[in-house]
Amino acid sequence: MIFTAPKIIAGIISTLWAFTAFLGVARSLPEADSNLIPAAYYEAVLPVTTTVAPTTTITTIATCDDALQLALDLGFPADQLGTLDLVMHRESRCLAHAHNLSDPMSGSYGLTQINGFWCLPNSQWKIGWLQEKGILEECSDLFNATISLRATLAIYNNSGWGPWAIAN
């Protein structure tokens, strides 16, 4: 093995960097305590990547594009995003808190104006169809963008675009 100046310098720099990193970890460790594992057992912990929990919900969105990205993230078929965009523009102008009280069955709610029919108790669904599916607890939950798009996806998977008077 031939030792050249660049290899020696690289070795020194690597050693100093590792020693400095070790000192930084050692300084960040808590003081010795009888309830703690001895310092000799501590290892450097690599950072972990965090993700959004699936139960996290987004209440509002800034743009229609944000809503489309959220729909895609929730599992909406990519080939249906164009139709979803049309529905959201037509029904609510992409406003998560849109509420049309003049529709029957307590009105229509949220981004895609889901009618109260889907979330009210009736002869077929004692607590409401969307409640039976575990998507929401009450119709007003549809003002939450994530819940609204989950409900839209469930209705789409059940009935296609029929409830929005769009041919499949």
**Token pair of 131, please?**
């409640």
Cβ atoms of residues 72 and 153 within 8 Å? no
Please compute the mean of the pLDDT values over residues 64-90 and round it to a whole number: 97
Orientation angle between helical segments 81-92 and 64-73, nearest 10 degrees: 130
Q: Which amino acid is at 127?
A: I
Please compute the mean of the pLDDT values over residues 38-45 and round it to a whole number: 38
Nearest 5°: phi and psi at 44? -65, 135
How do residues 44-60 score in pLDDT, each as one tens digit? 333 433 333 344 567 77
User: Under the phi-then-psi rule, with left for phi > 0, alpha for psi from -120 to 50, and beta for the rest, what region is 32?
Assistant: beta
User: Which among 143, 140, 134, 131 is positioned nearest to 54, based on CA atoms?
Assistant: 134
Instruction: Give span(s): CATH 1.10.530.10, the chain.
Output: 64-164
The highest-level CATH class for domain 64-164 is mainly alpha
CA distance 68 to 61: 10
**Token pair of 11, please?**
């070795």
How do residues 97-114 score in pLDDT, each as one tens digit? 999 999 988 899 999 999
CA distance 87 to 102: 18
* Global model pTM greater than 0.75: no
Helices (H), 29-144: 64-73, 81-92, 129-132
Distance (Å) of CA 141 to CA 78, 89, 135: 25, 20, 9
pLDDT of res. 11: 55
Cβ atoms of residues 135 and 151 within 8 Å? yes
Burial class (CB in 10 A: 0-12, 13-18, 19+), 115: buried
